[in-house]
């Protein structure tokens, strides 16, 4: 059984308490490992290591740090299949998805920030009698706190820009998915990455995460997770004037306008609704359809959803795996129950399926579920479920579609489907959200701003926004002779 230890100052170490948390494979219910359960003493040790390492890491030139990012990308690439297999085992996601999305993107996060940073021009502002030079400095020791749905993908999305700008890191992955962060640490050891620059403290949010928020020497917190936890993060870190980036929950709409290519829209809506069992913050969990095409779209959409292959995540053909845990499955099921109480009709799914080859095991599976007949303002249609459950709603005109799309407390992402690209763009401009896609979903250019409005977060990640978050800027104004 694998024992996952903290990674502090380049060494794997037991937690100071000596306590462990079980790590379960959610696709089978099997115990696969034990994770160090850390507390403020471990965070203190990690901060000391990160603080010591800061002097030499921040003194490297940008070019030297870029070389390190490329080295890390090469080393991850060499272990790409192992990363995918490990992520699939820890999360219950299909191996094909773990390869295509998690492992690939973890590598490209390093490649992207290496290249993007090398292309930045110095910021200079000329006046008649003076010259302004903007000098970027690292922030210092930074805390990275990440969720379980895209474990290494989201962690490396923060690690790469933090490192390249000269910061040192304390990371706390979700205790549900510690394996790929641990693998990443062993990869850093293999390439003799400088000790103390990257540290991991494993464990539960309140005991291992909270001390990161509170520690005075940790100067910035980049957090991705639920809105409720985001509130705790903001409440703790804001009075300490830490830099804060909050990437929080979502309840995103997929809007099908009357002139959409319905076959493409049905495929797109199914992908947006059920990728990673609906456990992506960007998933389109409320589908809004123009009344004139509602029946035709619904038939096509249900055919798509019923055709998705749910199964053992390790089978190459599997498109939908398990949820992250039995506890989360029960939460998602409570929403299916609530939907019925709220007057909804289950159009497909709603049950725990039997998974071929895993009969009798305790996997956390739920069929892809589509619910119709609910009020757009019902709890099921407005609260984040974060599972394979989507609701279908009908609108009469575009104004109503905009109003319905904006009628949640969240504002992370959304997509609109139309054959009129200008109409799609105008529609998108009226949506209260950080990201809109026209005729596509999860189509990412890493240079673009990523983040949410309303209860979906504060700040942006990606390209220059990540570089700015992980640096402090000093404007130097030089009076010319």
Between 421-429 and 398-405, two packed helices, what is the crossing angle to 10 degrees? 40
Nearest CA-CA partner of 393 in 462, 326, 350, 342: 342
**Which residue is catalytic, options 77, 124, 128, 281?**
281
Q: Residue 99 or 172: which CB sits closer to ligand NDP?
A: 172
Q: Is 353 in the site for ligand NDP (CB under 6 A)?
A: no
Q: Residue 276 or 298: which CB sits closer to ligand NDP?
A: 276
- Residues with Cβ within 8 Å of 244's Cβ and at least 6 positions away in sequence, in order, are 220, 221, 223, 233, 234, 237, 238, 458, 459
State the minimum distance, in angstroms, from the CB of residue 190 to ligand NDP.
25
> Which of the ranges 173-181, 254-262, 345-353, 422-430 carries the binding residues for ligand NDP, by CB under 6 A?
173-181
> Which of the ranges 208-216, 262-270, 296-304, 334-342 carries the binding residues for ligand NDP, by CB under 6 A?
208-216
Q: Is 147 in the site for ligand NDP (CB under 6 A)?
A: yes
Q: Coil, strand or helix: which one is 286?
A: strand
Q: Coil, strand or helix: which one is 134?
A: strand
Q: Is 452 in the site for ligand NDP (CB under 6 A)?
A: yes
Site string for ligand NDP, 273-292 (x = CB under 6 A): --------x-----------
Helix (H) or strand (E) holding 63: helix 62-78
State the minimum distance, in angstroms, from the CB of residue 442 to ligand NDP.
12
Q: Residue 159 or 302: which CB sits closer to ligand NDP?
A: 159
Q: Is 250 in the site for ligand NDP (CB under 6 A)?
A: yes
Helix (H) or strand (E) holding 25: strand 20-25
Query: According to CB under 6 A, which one of 151, 178, 209, 321 is a site residue for ligand NDP?
Result: 209
Q: Coil, strand or helix: which one is 242?
A: coil
**Which residue is catalytic, options 87, 175, 247, 319?**
247
Between 151-164 and 62-78, two packed helices, what is the crossing angle to 10 degrees? 160
Q: Is 427 in the site for ligand NDP (CB under 6 A)?
A: no
Q: Is 457 in the site for ligand NDP (CB under 6 A)?
A: yes
State the minimum distance, in angstroms, from the CB of residue 145 to ligand NDP.
5
Cα 473 from chain centre? 27
Task: Indicate the DSSP class of residue 332.
Answer: H
CA distance 178 to 204: 11
Q: Which segments within 29-167 are labelled E, that is strand? A: 30-36, 123-126, 130-138, 141-145
Q: Residue 90 or 384: which CB sits closer to ligand NDP?
A: 384
Strands 414-417 and 252-256: parallel
Q: Is 335 in the site for ligand NDP (CB under 6 A)?
A: no
Q: Residue 33 or 250: which CB sits closer to ligand NDP?
A: 250
Nearest CA-CA partner of 386 in 438, 323, 441: 323
CA distance 323 to 26: 7
Q: Is 281 a catalytic residue?
A: yes
Q: Is 449 in the site for ligand NDP (CB under 6 A)?
A: no
The 168-172 sheet, strands edge to edge: 11-13, 6-8, 198-200, 168-172, 141-145, 218-224, 243-247, 457-458
Q: Is 249 in the site for ligand NDP (CB under 6 A)?
A: yes
Residues 17-36 that bind ligand NDP (CB under 6 A): none
Q: Is 446 in the site for ligand NDP (CB under 6 A)?
A: no
Query: According to CB under 6 A, which one of 145, 159, 218, 255 is a site residue for ligand NDP?
Result: 145
Query: According to CB under 6 A, which one of 226, 353, 373, 449 is a site residue for ligand NDP?
Result: 226
Q: Is 477 a catalytic residue?
A: no
State the minimum distance, in angstroms, from the CB of residue 149 to ligand NDP.
5
CA distance 162 to 466: 8
Query: According to CB under 6 A, which one of 323, 364, 412, 431 is a site residue for ligand NDP?
Result: 412
Long-range contacts (CB closer than 8 Å, 24 or more residues apart) made by 392-399: 392/287, 392/289, 392/298, 392/301, 392/347, 393/286, 393/287, 393/288, 393/289, 394/288, 394/289, 394/290, 394/291, 394/294, 395/288, 395/289, 395/290, 395/291, 396/291, 398/257, 398/427
Q: Is 321 in the site for ligand NDP (CB under 6 A)?
A: no
SS3 content of the chain, % helix, strand, coil (to 5): 40, 25, 35
Q: Residue 247 or 398: which CB sits closer to ligand NDP?
A: 247
Q: Residue 140 or 147: which CB sits closer to ligand NDP?
A: 147
Q: Residue 38 or 85: which CB sits closer to ligand NDP?
A: 38
Q: Are 275 and 442 in contact (CB under 8 A)?
A: yes
Q: Is 53 in the site for ligand NDP (CB under 6 A)?
A: no
Rg from Cα positions in the chain: 23
Q: Are 150 and 181 in contact (CB under 8 A)?
A: no
Q: Residue 297 or 469: which CB sits closer to ligand NDP?
A: 469
Please work out the total of residues on this chain that contact ligand NDP, with binding judged by CB under 6 A. 30
Query: According to CB under 6 A, which one of 6, 167, 174, 378 is a site residue for ligand NDP?
Result: 174
Report the interface residues with ligand NDP, using CB under 6 A.
145-149, 172, 174-176, 204-206, 209-210, 213, 224-226, 229, 232, 247-250, 281, 384, 386, 412, 452, 457
Catalytic residues: 247, 281
């Amino acid at each position: 059984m694998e024992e996952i230890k903290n990674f502090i100052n380049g060494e794997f170490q037991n937690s100071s308490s000596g306590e462990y948390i079980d790590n379960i494979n959610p696709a089978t219910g099997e115990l696969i490992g034990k994770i160090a359960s850390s507390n403020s003493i471990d965070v203190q040790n990690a901060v000391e290591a990160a603080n010591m390492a800061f002097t030499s890491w921040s003194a490297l030139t940008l070019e030297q740090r870029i070389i390190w990012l490329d080295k890390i990308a090469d080393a991850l690439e060499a272990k790409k299949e192992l990363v995918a297999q490990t992520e699939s085992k820890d999360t219950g996601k299909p191996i094909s998805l773990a390869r295509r999305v998690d492992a690939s993107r973890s590598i490209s996060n390093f490649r992207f920030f290496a290249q993007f940073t090398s292309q930045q021009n110095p910021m200079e502002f000329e006046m008649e009698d003076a010259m302004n030079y903007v000098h970027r400095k690292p922030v210092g020791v930074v805390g990275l706190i990440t969720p379980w749905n895209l474990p290494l993908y989201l962690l490396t999305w923060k690690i790469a820009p933090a490192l390249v700008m000269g910061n040192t890191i304390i990371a706390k992955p979700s205790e549900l998915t510690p394996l790929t962060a641990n693998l990443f640490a062993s990869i850093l050891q293999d390439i003799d990455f400088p000790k103390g620059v990257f540290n991991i403290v494993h464990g539960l949010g309140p005991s291992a995460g909270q001390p990161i928020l509170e520690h005075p020497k940790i100067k910035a917190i980049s957090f991705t997770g639920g809105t409720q936890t985001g509130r705790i993060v903001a409440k703790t870190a804001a009075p300490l004037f830490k830099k804060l980036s909050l990437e929080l929950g979502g309840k995103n709409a997929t809007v099908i306008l009357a002139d959409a290519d319905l076959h493409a829209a049905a495929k797109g809506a199914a992908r947006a609704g059920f990728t990673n069992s609906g456990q992506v913050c960007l998933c389109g969990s409320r589908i809004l359809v123009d009344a004139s095409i509602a029946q035709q779209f619904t038939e096509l959409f249900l055919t798509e959803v019923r055709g998705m292959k749910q199964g053992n995540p390790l089978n190459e053909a599997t498109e939908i795996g398990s949820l992250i845990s039995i506890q989360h499955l029960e939460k998602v099921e409570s929403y299916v129950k609530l939907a019925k109480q709220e007057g909804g009709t289950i159009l497909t799914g709603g049950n725990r399926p039997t998974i071929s080859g895993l009969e009798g095991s305790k996997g956390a599976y739920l069929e892809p579920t589509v619910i119709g007949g609910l009020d757009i303002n019902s709890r099921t249609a407005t609260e984040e479920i974060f599972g394979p459950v989507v609701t279908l709603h009908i609108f009469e005109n575009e104004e109503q579609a905009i109003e319905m799309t904006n009628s949640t407390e969240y504002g992370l992402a959304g997509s609109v489907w139309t054959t009129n690209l200008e109409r799609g763009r105008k529609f998108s401009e009226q949506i209260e959200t950080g990201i809109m896609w026209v005729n596509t979903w999860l189509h990412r250019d890493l240079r673009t701003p990523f983040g949410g409005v309303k209860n979906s977060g504060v700040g942006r990640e990606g390209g220059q926004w990540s570089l700015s978050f992980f640096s402090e800027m000093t404007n130097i104004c030089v009076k010319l002779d």
